[in-house]
Structure 1
Amino acid sequence: MADPTARVLAVQRLLRVEAEGAHVARLADGAHPPDVSRRAVDYVSGVTRQKRWLDFLIAEFYRGDVEGLDPELRQILRIGTYELIEREVAPHAAVNEAVETAKALLHRGAAGLTNGVLRALDRAHRAGALPDPDTGDLANDLAVRYSHPTWPVRRWLDRWGEEATRAFLAASNEPGHFTLRVTGGAEAVPGVIRELADLGVEAEPSEWTDDFLAVDRLQPILRSGLLDEGTVAVQDVAAGLVVHVLDPQPEERILDAAAAPGGKAVYAALRMHDRGEVAALDVSEAKVGLIAGAARRHGLSIVRPVKADLTTWESDARFDRVLLDAPCSGSGVLAKRADLRWRRSPEGLDELAELQDALLDAAARHVRPGGLLVYSTCSVEAEENDDRVAAFLSRRNEFRLESVEGLVPDALVDDVLYRALPHVHGTDGAFAARLRRSPD
């Protein structure tokens, strides 16, 4: 008999995501065996990411109203469809486990329905006869097929065209790729690769910078103690390159104006050889604690965590360089944040743009004459990136835009801006602009 434990756990968590708005990344716990927990996490992340496409397929093979299904049964069918179509699990295993889960959570009638729907879907899949959305509205059809809301897909089509939009949507549905920042820099990379090999982790140097590694999985690293020792840190290389755009130097005063959880502040301090000052702000006491912990793990003395609201914070002196990694839609990190695509709205994008403007103006107050302000996001939206920089420069004529050329690889330089795109560069999405204040 199939063991439905992981599926039952996944169904329970998926119901919480929908009913309570629970964040997928915060649902994992240590109360279950590692194998059960790993499978449940995969089901929850995969179904949350692909649910619009899965629901379309279920509706094609269920003779009834999908919206009227028991909530538990709908999740069971989503998980079974995800395994058959996206994971290519052997049909007998995927269907049998789904049936056992229906028996465990519901009743024999639900088990029979599960069996019928999934077997019909599998036959069509193996025959190459799965239906495609065909409403005549390209944005809507792509949104269903790649499981996104329609409104951002329409915007991406207008900006990028069909080919690039399809590529971006596909990249956003891939399992997240992970990179590690190596604390000891490029010289320490060979030794860390050997340590990771001993843990059964494949690692190779990043193509974008010599102190990052691409790894095939994270769990053995999380269990190993390497993070606690500060040997490595989990950080996407695209985010790390924002610190290259900042280009902090030893003995300078740096402000990381929205620093939690501290990855960029720590990386800046490491590149400064722990000489100077990095003031790391966050409005949350708990997040300030995360910054302090990250600095301790890396043995850094110059990171100064500060609990403060940037819009009202006052400093005795101005800073040589200020980094504003602004709150944003996160559209560049959809592969790692399975639920994020369902939490955004056009109205929310407008609200974020207003916040980003306010934070940029607040950050600018802390830049010394001749100093540098770097504005960055993990968004791919022009409204949060290029448009915010243009609006800032129109308000603040004491700042000018300067090029990131020479600070990041040429492939990531877009005119004078830093831009990483998931479907082009295989990284998270990231954006940064250097804004130089006049010497006065």
Structure 2
Amino acid sequence: MPETPAPPVSARVLAVERLLRVEADGAFVARLGAARRGAGRVDAETARAASDYVAGVTRQKRWLDFLLGHYVRGGLGALDLELLQTLRVGAYDLVVRGTAPHAAVNEAVETARALLHRGAGGLANAVLRALARALRDGALPEPSTGDLADDLAVRHSHPTWMVRRWLAAWGEEATARFLASNNEPPRFALRATGRAQPDGPQPDGPGGVDALAERLTSLGAEPERSRWLDDFVTVGRLQPVLRAGLLAEGACAVQDEAAGLVVRVLDPQPGEAVLDGAAAPGGKAVYAAQRMAAGGAIPGGAGRLVALDVSEAKTALVAEAARAQGVADLVETVTADLTTWTPPRPFDRVLLDAPCSGTGVLAKRADLRWNRSPEDLRELAALQDRLLDAAARAVRPGGLLVYSTCSVEAEENDDRVGAFLARHADFSLEPVGALVPEPIRDGDVYRALPHVHGTDGAFAARLRRAG
């Protein structure tokens, strides 16, 4: 007798199970798969919907808990973890997604019953109906501690210590805009590789961007041309791109415009020896190699890009990306620690895209805001100094060192450049000039801010060694 197929699993049940993994195991939101503890079918659409819930609830967790805390007797700490996550998903449905109250409440009740028991469903019903009434009446609770940093942090769901720093650096208005931008659904940037059609690189538009945009339009991806880079487009959803296999075939690469502009700051030239000293997962290294090739670099000739990283698994990712995007002949991968590696020769240009706090990418890394501490900044600054000193040793006289991060913190950006120049009298700060568009320059350096430029946050400085 054939087995009865398992019933489908709802996206909300799957989301609750994944959220439990995030909190219990410290799982990265972006890496959670569809595996689950119980029986039940999980199709691709359900898995995607669950991922959206997980990312959204993780971003908004502090704000959701503040709201729910007004309607749960005894406080949230007394709840079963499954019920707490169910209530967060329900509150997210109501307050952030704008799901119709009857649907949001009913789904939460069914989720609580599926994961716990009927009594849990009753509690979910009471709490979320009270929240729905407050929302309808325009009477949602607002944080009002009298501490601006704490109130903004609760309302925009960030750690208070982060908000306090940004208030000191930028003031209230800019900080509030930055916080809001971190909670908006991100758009994804795609870099054209010139391989958007089966017969190879296309002459239309820089890097074949016209062919890529046409193909994305045919897939319903609704691409928009980048404001900052002539070989990039942005899309609201990656699913059509993934389903069509465009990444696998090398037609495009997922890379934020802010990261692409770092490569423009590096400005690699044909025939040069270039080092990417912290290359994984390879986006900047491959883009740099493509810029060299487009300018006339000859595969196997003098032009060469060395992509170095400490992890063999990560350098394998770089090599795979180089093959997929047609520049394997220009990219040499090396597995080594930059701080102890002996360069085989001096390099014309060296890129150090340093490990950092990632505060410029909080919109895409939903869990990152909860996994950082002030101590991390101090430890990262010390590491960045060591890596900068090591990278400097690889630069030829007259050559260029580009230091970059995806952080918005002065301690990881301007302060590190200043400290480096104080240690290395043979280097000087060179203006980025017209290598990046004027609105995204900040004096002599490149600085992208999500709430200003609509990209990830990023920083880059050009450090020229005396000849």
Fold conserved between structures, TM > 0.5: yes
Whole-Å separation in 2 of the counterparts to 1:216 and 1:146: 22
Inter-partner Cα distance in structure 2 for 1:220 and 1:359: 39
Q: Secondary structure at the match of 2:247?
A: helix
One-letter amino acid of the counterpart of residue 30, structure 2: A
- The answer (yes or no) to whether the contact 2:266–2:462 under 8 Å persists in 1 is yes
Deviation sequence 1:103-130 (CA, Å, 0-9, x none): 1111111111100110110111011110
Distance 2:344 2:69 in 1: 62
Change (3 A) 1:32 1:4: closer
Partner SS state of residue 392, structure 1: helix
Identify the residue that residue 10 of structure 1 maps to in structure 2.
15
Looking at structure 1, the residues matched to 255 and 384 of structure 2 have their Cα atoms a distance apart, in angstroms, of: 23
Taking the aligned partners of 1:332 and 1:41, their CA distance within structure 2 comes to: 21
Matching of residues 155-304 of structure 1 within 5 Å = 155-184=165-194, 186=206, 188-273=208-293, 274-275=297-298, 276-300=303-327, 301-304=329-332
Residue equivalent to 2:446: 418
1:53 and 2:63 are equivalent in the alignment: yes
CA contact (8 A) 1:254 1:321 kept: yes
Contact 1:4 1:101 in 2 (8 A): no
Shift of residue 223 of structure 1?
Answer: 1.6
Whether 1:114 and 2:141 are equivalent positions in the alignment is no
- Please state how far the C-alpha of 1:5 moved relative to its aligned partner: 1.9
Map 1:79-94 to 2 at 5 A: 79-94=89-104
Q: Which residue of 1 aligns with 2:381?
A: 353
1:383 to 384, 392, 411: 411
1:222: how far off?
1.0
Post-superposition offset of 1:142: 0.6
Question: Is contact 1:179–1:213 with CA below 8 Å preserved after alignment?
Answer: yes
Contact kept in structure 1, 2:224 and 2:235, CA below 8 Å:
yes
| Residue pair 2:256, 2:455 contacting (<8 A) in 1 also | yes
Other-structure match for 1:29? 34
* 1:150 and 2:177 aligned: no
Distance 2:391 2:209 in 1: 35
- Cα pair 2:8 2:42 within 8 Å, conserved: no
Q: Is the 8 A contact 1:3 1:97 kept in 2?
A: no
| Residue in structure 2 matching 1:409, options 437, 442, 448 | 437
Distance 1:201 1:316 in 2: 45
Paired residues, what number?
Answer: 438
Structure 2: gaps spanning 5 or more residues: 1-6, 36-40, 195-204
Give SS of 1:296's match.
helix
In 1, the alpha carbon distance for the partners of 2:269 and 2:45 equals 45
Displacement of 1:87: 0.3
After superposition, what is the alpha-carbon deviation per residue over 1:86-106, rounded to whole angstroms, capped at 9, x for unaligned? 000111111101000111111
- Runs ≥4 in structure 1, deviation > 4 angstroms? none
Contact 2:308–2:336 under 8 Å retained in 1? yes
SS of the equivalent of 1:335 reads coil
Q: Which amino acid aligns with 2:152?
A: L
Bigger shift: 317-326 or 63-72? Answer: 63-72
Cα contact 1:58–1:81 (8 A) shared by 2: yes
Q: TM-score, normalised by structure 1?
A: 0.98
**How far does the alpha carbon of each residue in 1:175-220 deviate from its partner, in whole angstroms, 9 at most, with x for none?**
1211100012626222211111111110121010100001121111
For 1:343 and 1:62, the matched residues in 2 are separated by 27
Distance 1:374 1:219 in 2: 34
Counterpart Cα distance in 1 of 2:251 and 2:62: 40
2:239 aligned partner, one-letter code: Q
The answer on whether the counterparts of 2:304 and 2:331 sit within 8 Å (CA) in structure 1 is: yes
Cα distance, 1:3 vs structure 2: 7.7
Residue 136 of structure 2 corresponds to 126
CA distance in 2, matches of 1:125, 1:28: 33
Q: Which amino acid aligns with 1:216?
A: G
- Give 1:291's aligned amino acid: V
Q: Which amino acid aligns with 2:156?
A: Y
User: What RMSD in Å do the two structures reach over aligned CA positions?
Assistant: 1.3
| Corresponding residue to 2:372 among 327, 338, 344 | 344
> Quick one: distance in 2 between partners of 1:303 and 1:187?
18
Q: Return the letter of the residue paired with 2:28.
A: H
For 1:386 and 1:423, the matched residues in 2 are separated by 20
8 Å CA contact 1:4–1:100 kept in 2: the answer is no
Alpha-carbon offset, residue 11 of structure 1: 1.1
- The alpha-carbon deviation at position 65 of structure 1 amounts to 1.9
Equivalent pair of 2:20/2:81 in contact (CA under 8 Å):
yes
**Residues in 2 aligned to 1:283 and 1:361: alpha-carbon distance in whole angstroms:** 16
Q: Is the 8 A contact 1:255 1:321 kept in 2?
A: yes
Q: Secondary structure at the match of 1:220?
A: helix
Moved more, 156-165 or 2-11: 2-11
Q: Percent identity?
A: 68
Distance in 2 of aligned mates of 1:308 and 1:32: 41
| Residue aligned with 1:328, SS | coil
1:32 CA drift (Å): 2.2
- Structure 2 match to 1:364: 392
Does the CA contact (< 8 Å) of 1:255 and 1:279 recur in 2? yes
- Paired position in structure 2 for 1:105: 115
Comparing 188-197 with 335-344, which one deviates more in the overlay? 188-197
Per-residue displacement from partner, 1:45-75 (whole Å, max 9, x unpaired)?
1111110000000001122221110000000
Superposition deviation, residue 4 in structure 1: 6.1
Q: Does the aligned pair in 1 maintain the 2:186–2:236 contact within 8 Å?
A: no
Distance 1:362 1:29 in 2: 41
**Aligned position for 1:434:** 462
SS across alignment from 1:309: coil
Following the alignment from structure 2 to structure 1, what is the Cα–Cα distance between the partners of residues 278 and 438?
A: 27
Does the 8 A contact of 1:6 with 1:39 survive in 2? yes
1:307 corresponds to which residue? 335
